[in-house]
Structure 1
Amino acid sequence: MATVLPFQGILYNPEMISDTGAVTTPPYDVISPDEQSAFYERHPNNIVRLILNQATDADSAEDNPHTRSAAFFRQWQEEGILKKDDQPALYVKAITYTHAGETITRYGVIARVGIEPFEKRIVLPHEKTFSKVRSERLQLLKATHCNYCPIFSLYPDEGEIFATLEGAVHNASPIVDFVDEQNHRHQLWRVTDPAIHHQITEALQPKRLFIADGHHRYETSLNFKKHLQATDPSFDDQHPANYVMMYLCSMSDPGLIILPAHRLLKAVSADALQQAIDASRTYFEIAEYPFTPADRKEVEQRFLADLSDGASRQAIGVYAHRAPVYYILSLKPGVMDDLFGDELDIALRSLDVTVLTRLIFMKVLGFDQQRLDNEKLIGYASTAEKAIDAINTDNYDVAFILNPTRIEQVQDIAQKGLVMPRKSTYFFPKVRSGLVMNGLKD
């Protein structure tokens, strides 16, 4: 059963930081180098110095991004910039944003959740992770002993928990209220009523929790707990590292949106891609959208519209560097069953991202697991426009444009104990880093 508890969060002190928007950021893994620098410049106490401290040529075992993060964390607490709440709370979070011309609000609650190994089927993943990222995040956690960012998780709900959270803050003033650089409004309420705590804890106890965003951080928390069990004689069942900070959102929340995670590849030559397109004709019906400089934008819009209209079928868009043509690859019936029916569950075979990874990347292009695990050669974009721009600006060689995974597919795969390929989903909007932190020292 899920253990969801209130905790004494560490927050920016409003007496010293009047604009929380100036010191918070998106999660570390979606911050580009340019954005990292911009957040550094925005405010001297911006959370980027903790979650993604800048590396230098002089870094050493004693002085590196992780040790500097820990030093800033201690300093900001000593100076009163960060302040720990004096009583346990649940932190209700609302984000209001515009999507497809509609204004939407999504609610969630930030709480402390008991860490459970995946095999216990209480907290469930749906994606694979990168080993290098897990290692890097573990070094940060060892240095800082703090969850700076909540893991984004989902729970099945018929609306009762959602209604309780919304009702708990309906007539209350938020302790945080700002609009970020994407024009998203963030509001945070501190709920200290033990009756509400009990109500939420009891309602979530029988639920399975599905990790939406933060698989690396959750696996890192599991490894950090094992590290302390092996090295700290005082570690026991009451130690704070038995828990991890999570943002919990209802699967039925109308503000929950999944965007696709389009793939961007480096080190794919024009000849190799053309050979792959030709080889793909065995498995796909291929529609071509050639363009000229004069009609490029018009053709691009038609290509994206046709790809989106075909979301009910398994279809993938392709666009390559210096190639004046877009492609839509539509899977022929029965291909995935014939090739992978004895190896992959039907839930996985039905995913566009599985078609891309197993059929196109591995079978057609010949990528091995090492190539797929190399984050220097593969990138991601949450919008087709960003993916196409990454090709036009020479940052990548080829983009594979996907339709979004559906929430029902995420739930089905997680409940079956299966995992999707890495970055199969992009839950939107992301959960802001720096609103609340969770200390892990005993």
Structure 2
Amino acid sequence: MDSATIVPPYVAKPLELLPFRALMLAPGRVGDPASARALARPYRDVADRLTEWIARGRAVADTAPALYLHEYTSGGLTVRGLVGALRVSRRAAAPTERAVWPHEAIHPEQAGELADRMAQMSLNPAPILLVHHGPERLREVITAIAEGTPDWRYLDRAGQRQRIWAIRDAEQLARVSALLATSRCLIADGHHRYAAYLRLQEQHPGTAWDAGLAMLVDQYDTPLFLGAIHRTLPGADLPALVGAARTTGADVARHDRVRALGALDSTHLVLTDRTDWYTVGPGDLDHQAAVSWLHEQVLTRLADPPKRVDYHHSVDDALAAASDSTPAVLLPSPDFKQVRAIVESGGLLPEKATSFQPKPSLGVLMRPMNDA
């Protein structure tokens, strides 16, 4: 972790997801790239722009506050979670009090820019994604809700199938609240927006900014896919990278492309410039993620460090960017239990270490702050 990053504060238990009155783009607008213009600069005009969209039928505001059960299906994978206003007004003083656990550090400047943008928009435009292992009784409640008729159901422009249930019954809300209270969750996506929520809460305590929009997914129920984010290293030298890996005591072997890619698994990385291919087995990944080992044990040993690190969500993308002057590092997919164990023991992963997928389309559920 470099000096430009910090760890955002931890929200304290009880974990609370509060009802809110959702703003939703019309089904034909959800997932349409052109709809992003509703949330574009100038940000101070977004609230009026969305009001105009409601008048024209391009968006709709729910009739009353609710906690929402949101299920979406993309590429054959179905994800389901509770969407509500995450209370962020309490800070944890000790690890046992923590309800929300970041697994990456953040850049304060980026969080500040997001906070300023949301303040101008007076809107949480999309939920951050949280994951946890929920209690069995909570899964039973969610399953019972999902067996009912959805309040909204449609196929969006991006091909995601959306189903949404509004939870308004006071008894049901109380039951969900009680079952969530002791939960601890990991931030899957939205570290900088989470930090922006905290900054806005500090600036505007006792207001709607005491909470920020979040979706909580149970990894035991409908898990998000957890994939690796691969690296290319412009300006680095593959032989030097291989040599640095060998000095750690790792098992390094040269192979052809097919055998190297076939060896990419939970215990091995691949280094390549698309001409030469090497597999690397660190041998000590029980308590350390492969991506952390790369950054902490290998890149720090290079006499001539790379100019920058570029990130790629697929092997094909990483290989397309690789060359003799830009070696690629292909990483194994991390394990959720391992990530959680590292974080809860006080560790962090490097920036862009995990890719939780799929994410919901933009515009399904938004939270207007002037109506919270």
TM-score computed with the length of structure 1 as normaliser: 0.72
Say if 1:77 and 1:117 are closer, same or farther in 2 by CA, change over 3 A. Answer: farther
Q: What amino acid sits opposite 1:280 in the alignment?
A: A
Q: Quote how far apart the aligned CAs of 1:224 are.
A: 1.3
Change beyond 3 A, Cα 1:407–1:193: same
**Are residues 1:382 and 2:313 paired?**
yes
Letter in 2 for 1:6: P
Listed as ranges, the matches of 1:37-76 within 5 Å are 39-40=33-34, 46=35, 48-50=36-38, 53=40, 64=41, 66-67=43-44, 69=46, 72-76=49-53
Q: Deviations over 1:11-43 (max 9, x none)?
A: 12xxxx352xx4336xxxxxxxxxxxxx23xxx
Aligned to 1:117: 91
For residues 278-427 of structure 1, the aligned pairs below 5 Å read 278-283=243-248, 284-290=250-256, 299-300=257-258, 302-308=259-265, 311=266, 313=267, 315-320=268-273, 323-331=274-282, 347=287, 350-364=288-302, 367=305, 377-391=308-322, 397-427=326-356
- Could you tell me which amino acid in structure 2 is paired with residue 252 of structure 1? Y
Structure 2 residue aligned with 1:9: 22
Is 1:430 equivalent to 2:359 in the alignment? yes
Is 1:141 matched up with 2:118? Answer: yes
Distance 2:215 2:132 in 1: 11
Partner SS, residue 403 of structure 1 = coil
Aligned-pair CA distance for 1:95: 2.4
Q: Structure 1 residue 430: deviation in Å?
A: 1.4
What is the 5 A alignment of 1:210-289? Answer: 210-229=186-205, 236=206, 239-266=207-234, 268-269=235-236, 272-283=237-248, 284-289=250-255
- Tell me, what secondary structure is at the counterpart of 2:263? helix
Structure 1 residue 80: deviation in Å?
Answer: 5.2
CA contact (8 A) 1:168 1:196 kept: no
Give the distance between the partners of 2:105 and 2:330, measured in 1 at CA. 20
Amino acid at match of 2:31: T
Letter aligned with residue 278 of structure 1: G
Q: Is the 8 A contact 2:230 2:315 kept in 1?
A: yes
1:75-224 correspondence runs (5 A): 75-77=52-54, 79=56, 81-98=58-75, 103-115=76-88, 116-117=90-91, 119=93, 120-178=97-155, 181=158, 183-224=159-200
Larger mean CA deviation between 76-85 and 133-142 belongs to 76-85
* 8 Å Cα contact 2:30/2:362 also seen in 1: no
CA contact (8 A) 1:257 1:428 kept: yes
CA positional deviation for 1:352: 0.5
Report if aligned partners of 2:150, 2:165 keep a CA contact under 8 Å in 1. yes
Cα drift, residue 68 of structure 1: 5.5
Aligned pair in 2 of structure 1 residues 153, 391: CA closer, same or farther (>3 Å)? Answer: same
CA drift of 1:192 comes to 2.4
Percent identity at matched positions? Answer: 21
Q: Structure 1 pair 252/75, CA: closer, same or farther in 2 (3 Å)?
A: same
CA contact (8 A) 1:73 1:144 kept: no
**C-alpha distance in 2 between matches for 1:263 and 1:409:** 21
**Shift of the alpha carbon at 1:81?**
3.3
Q: Structure 1 residues 187, 226: closer, same or farther in 2, change over 3 A?
A: same
Gaps of 5+ in 1: 26-38, 41-45, 54-63, 230-235, 291-298, 337-345, 372-376
Q: CA RMSD in A?
A: 2.7
Aligned residues: 353
| In structure 2, distance between residues paired with 1:163 and 1:362 | 48
CA contact (8 A) 2:160 2:361 kept: no
Counterparts of 2:192 and 2:174 in 1: how far apart (Å)?
30
Post-superposition offset of 1:215? 0.7
CA apart distance, 1:324: 0.9
Provide the residue aligned with 1:293 in structure 2: none
Q: CA deviation at 1:397?
A: 2.3
Superimposed CA distance per residue, residues 366-388 of structure 1 (whole angstroms, 9 cap, x where no aligned partner): 659xx7xxxxx433222212221
2:282 alignment partner AA: L
Note the residue ranges of structure 2 that are not aligned, 5 or more in a row: 1-13
**What is the SS of the residue equivalent to 2:247?**
coil
- Contact map agreement 1:169 1:189 (CA 8 A) in 2: yes
Residue of structure 2 equivalent to 1:296: none
Q: 1:210 to 1:170 in 2, by over 3 A?
A: same
CA-CA distance at 1:287 after TM superposition: 1.8
Distance of 1:146 and 1:194 partners within structure 2: 26
Query: Displacement, 1:146?
Result: 0.9
1:262: how far off? 1.2
Q: Matched residues in 2 for 1:329 and 1:50: separation?
A: 47
More off after superposition, 215-224 vs 353-362: 353-362
SS of the aligned residue for 1:324 comes to coil
Alpha-carbon distance between aligned partners in 1 of 2:262 and 2:132, rounded to the nearest angstrom: 32
TM-superposed deviation, 1:194: 2.3
* TM-superposed deviation, 1:131: 3.4
The Cα offsets for residues 281-327 of structure 1, whole Å up to 9 and x where unpaired, read as: 2222222234xxxxxxxx34x3222112xx1x3x221222xx41222
